[in-house]
Amino acid sequence: MVLTKRIIPCLDVTEGRVVKGVKFLQLKDAGDAVELGKIYDNQGADELVFLDITASSDKRKILIDLVERTSEQIFIPFTVGGGIRTVNDIKEILRAGADKVSLNTSVVQNPNVITEGATIFGSQCMVTAIDAKRVYIDYPEEAKDKIIAELPNKNKYCWWEVYIHGGRTPTGRDAVKWGIKVQNLGSGEILLTSMDMDGVKEGFDLELTRTFSEKLDIPIIASGGAGNPQHIIDAFKIGKADAALAASIFHYDEYSIAEVKKLCQDEGIPMRL
Amino acid sequence: MTFYIAIIDYERGNIKSISKLLQYINVKSIITSKYKEIINSNGVILPGVGAFGDAMTHLNEINLIPTINEIVSENIPLFGICLGHQLLFSKSEEMGIYKGLDLIKGRVISFDLNKVDKIPQIGWNSVNFQNKDHFLIQDIPNNSFFYFVHSFYTIPEDKENIIGSTQYGNIEFCSIVSKKNIFGTQFHPEKSSKYGIIMYQNFIEYCKK
């Protein structure tokens, strides 16, 4: 056998409960985070990701409590993201029992936090989340300093811009170059979200995922856009992702994780079943 | 005396997840670096993530290396996990050459990007059992999946010490090692769902004997 591709349900949480934002704006309640995590473990989830979308410091204790309860009852790796800014924040989350932390805005503001975290806790627990949005151009010459992809619909090109603050603030940065930089700073994995596809359920941004996977040496977790099992198959086969992250298709019982993994395996993708 | 497992605390890595798994299977554990608590335990777990050289330096600073040698000579079961598994070996080539605990002859080397796609190996990979009678893998089907996170892997000199092996890219490496009362897994059984839980139960049963 070989290293399998991972299916990772993402639980957006606020005050210990799961919500899922559609295009980051509307929120729906979908249950208790630990109970949902257990169901996913039983269905064969390879990891869990908790994203704390409130991420205000006064709610920190509730998040820590959730991390502790999860680590007492669920024995697969889990990552916690949302509002983690300093080495102290990282330490607090890892000490509570998380295996990895995911940082986004804070890395753009202070790239050293990744290096410091990797030095103390190891690269394997430092995930950098990148929210990327397409910038379309007609000619590659229009963006000479950017890493450009040719899109399948002919004569169209784009590069990807990094957004921070939960997708509200553009930074002007090239996402692929940023990915290479955070890899060199000590990130162990990239959690790569397509802003264009997130919540739309029409499939991942496969060009984005593939560009990252080809340019970087660390694993890429594709995120944003999973609406059906074929989208996840495409993320692995065409996007060359190492892992696929999805939320709503699992939360609302549209497809079970076991079902999706079986379909992936039928397509020749190595899966833990 | 109450039965308990000592989890060696040398301030490296997520050791709580091991104690939480033991708590889940109703086994008492103490996270400790104290000689007496370690030497009086029924079994010792050497966890760890991070860099080999840094870990050995720290073990040395807090004077744990003689304690670990005593565990072995007193025949107390010793179980190394991930970096703890690597530390059992003679030497590592991670960022220089570092001497290990040298309890199992062999070396620790890096994956090579010419032979694997990505470094580190992160995720679930299968373990091919080389010695199906070994107590650690009882009630676990051959080629079951376990969770790995590592950039380096071990090569034991004596192939008899290899209980399980795993293929990553073009490299086959030792993922479960065993010699007398010394055991190690490159993967994290505490993060490997049901088969990882069974592996800890098997270790605990062995410690009770």
Q: Would residue A96 count as lying in a domain?
A: yes
How many domains, chain B? Answer: 1
Mean pLDDT in consecutive groups of 10 residues from the start of chain B, 209 residues: 91 79 97 96 90 88 96 97 96 88 97 90 96 96 96 96 97 97 97 97 97
Among A72, A218, A242, whose Cβ lies nearest the Cβ of B20? A72
Q: Please state, for a pLDDT cut of 70, what percent of chain B lies above it.
A: 98
Would you call A12 a catalytic residue per the annotation?
A: yes
Would you call A131 a catalytic residue per the annotation?
A: yes
The CA distance from B136 to B124, in Å, is: 19
A/B interface, count of CB pairs below 8 Å: 95
Among A4, A75, A123, whose Cβ lies nearest the Cβ of B196? A75
Q: Select which of B82, B85, B174, B207 is catalytic.
A: B82
Quickly list H helices, chain A: 33-43, 60-73, 87-95, 105-109, 112-121, 175-185, 206-215, 229-237, 248-251, 257-266
Please tell me the predicted confidence (pLDDT) of residue B84.
95
For the domain that residue A173 is a member of, what is the CATH number? 3.20.20.70
Coil, strand or helix at B103: coil
Q: Would residue A27 count as lying in a domain?
A: yes
ipTM of the complex: 0.89
Q: Would residue A141 count as lying in a domain?
A: no
Q: Would residue A251 count as lying in a domain?
A: yes
Inter-chain residue contact A6 with B123, CB threshold 8 Å: yes
Inter-chain residue contact B16 with A123, CB threshold 8 Å: no
Please tell me the predicted confidence (pLDDT) of residue A136.
94
Q: Select which of A46, A131, A205, A242 is catalytic.
A: A131
Q: Would residue A156 count as lying in a domain?
A: no
CB atoms closer than 10 angstroms to residue B98: 18
Q: Which of B81, B83, B95, B118 is most worth mutating to test chain A (most A CB atoms within 10 A of its CB)?
A: B118
Q: What residues have CB less than 8 Å from A211, skipping those under 6 apart?
A: A147, A149, A160, A176
Beta bridge partners of A20: A28
Please tell me the predicted confidence (pLDDT) of residue A23.
36
How many domains, chain A? Answer: 1
Please tell me the predicted confidence (pLDDT) of residue A22.
40
Please tell me the predicted confidence (pLDDT) of residue A221.
98
Q: Would residue A216 count as lying in a domain?
A: yes
Instruction: State chain A's maximal CA–CA distance in angstroms.
Output: 54
Strands (E), chain B: 5-8, 29-32, 43-46, 78-81, 89-92, 98-99, 104-110, 121-126, 128-129, 145-150, 152-156, 162-168, 171-179, 182-185
Host domain of residue A18:
6-131+162-266
Nearest CA in chain B to A73: B24
Q: Select which of B85, B94, B150, B188 is catalytic.
A: B188
Q: Would residue A39 count as lying in a domain?
A: yes
B145-161 pLDDT, tens per residue? 999 999 899 999 999 99
Inter-chain residue contact B147 with A77, CB threshold 8 Å: yes
For the domain that residue B12 is a member of, what is the CATH number? 3.40.50.880
Inter-chain residue contact A72 with B16, CB threshold 8 Å: no
* Parts of chain A with a pLDDT under 50: 21-28
Inter-chain residue contact B50 with A122, CB threshold 8 Å: yes
Would you call B207 a catalytic residue per the annotation?
A: no
Chain B residues near residue A217 by CB distance under 8 angstroms: 113, 118-119
Contacts 24+ apart (CB under 8 A), A23-31: A23/A198, A23/A199, A23/A200, A24/A166, A24/A167, A24/A168, A24/A198, A24/A199, A27/A53, A30/A251, A30/A252, A31/A251
Q: Would residue A138 count as lying in a domain?
A: no
